[in-house]
């Protein structure tokens, strides 16, 4: 299972065009920025899930608010968010999700993703709350359809984050994004991160240290 492929598959050309118009960018830049955002959010989620408490909280949030149903009419959800209309639900509260995943490191991440795609941090900040619900919905649908327990969910997340780093089209820059998001965070890995191992395990060791 490749979470990055699934996430990229949610964005139709028409949707990328809408997002591009919303932020004032070329579609190619928007698509590249979306890849960076997906990869960064998967990395943040994998790190949050590296502790037992964080993993349990994530699983509870997925069960409660993210069954994947918004993917059935993703164009409608994105269109509604772009227009600023409609009532926001837990499943579409992108800013709330970002607060949990990235905390106060959102602007630093936006600056790094912006540099890689040629967009401004402000443009990335507009995309982040729109794309975050897609990440959570895909993860929730994956958990439900696969009947994943906590251990399996953690493994899927770590694997997805590693794939995201390799497939985001940003190369080593994603490592710089994840590393700089926390600046001087602790470099000590959690046991599960070491077990999940690999490239991303090292990158994520402590970068979201306050969680």
In the chain, what percentage of residues exceed pLDDT 70? 77
Tens of pLDDT, residues 15-28:
999 999 999 999 99
**Among the ranges given (19-33, 63-77, 92-106, 178-192), the one the predictor scored with the smallest mean pLDDT:** 178-192
Please tell me the total count of domains within the chain.
1
User: Of 76, 174, 167, whose CA–CA distance to 130 is shortest?
Assistant: 76
Q: Are 65 and 87 in contact (CB under 8 A)?
A: no
Find the domain containing 47 and state its range. Answer: 3-204
**Among the ranges given (118-122, 163-167, 182-186), the one the predictor scored with the smallest mean pLDDT:** 182-186
pLDDT at 82: 87
Whole-structure pTM over 0.85, yes or no?
Answer: no
Residue 124 falls inside a structural domain: yes
Q: Rounded to the nearest 10 degrees, what angle do helices 27-48 and 150-167 cross at?
A: 150
Residue 186 falls inside a structural domain: yes
Residue 209 falls inside a structural domain: no
pLDDT at 192: 36
Alpha helices in the chain, H assignment, sequence order: 3-10, 13-23, 27-48, 52-65, 74-83, 94-101, 106-117, 121-146, 150-167, 173-181, 191-196, 198-204
190 has pLDDT over 60: no
Residue 211 falls inside a structural domain: no
């Amino acid at each position: 299972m490749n979470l990055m492929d699934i996430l990229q598959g949610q964005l139709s050309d028409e949707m990328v065009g809408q997002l591009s118009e919303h932020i004032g960018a070329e579609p190619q830049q928007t698509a590249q920025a979306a890849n960076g955002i997906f990869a960064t959010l998967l990395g943040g989620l994998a790190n949050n899930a590296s502790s037992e408490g964080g993993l349990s909280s994530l699983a509870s949030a997925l069960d409660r608010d993210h069954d994947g149903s918004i993917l059935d009419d993703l164009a409608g959800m994105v269109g509604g968010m772009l227009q600023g209309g409609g009532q926001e639900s837990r499943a579409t509260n992108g800013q709330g999700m970002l607060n949990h995943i990235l905390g106060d490191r959102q602007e630093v991440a936006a600056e790094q993703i912006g540099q890689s795609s040629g967009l401004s941090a402000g443009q990335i900040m507009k995309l982040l709350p729109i794309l975050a619900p897609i990440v959570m919905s895909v993860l929730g649908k994956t958990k439900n359809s696969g009947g994943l327990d906590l251990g399996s969910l953690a493994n899927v997340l770590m694997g997805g984050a590693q794939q995201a780093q390799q497939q985001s089209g940003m190369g080593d820059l994603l490592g710089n994004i994840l590393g700089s998001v926390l600046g001087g965070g602790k470099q000590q890995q959690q046991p599960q991160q070491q077990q999940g191992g690999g490239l991303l395990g090292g990158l994520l060791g402590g970068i979201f240290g306050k969680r």
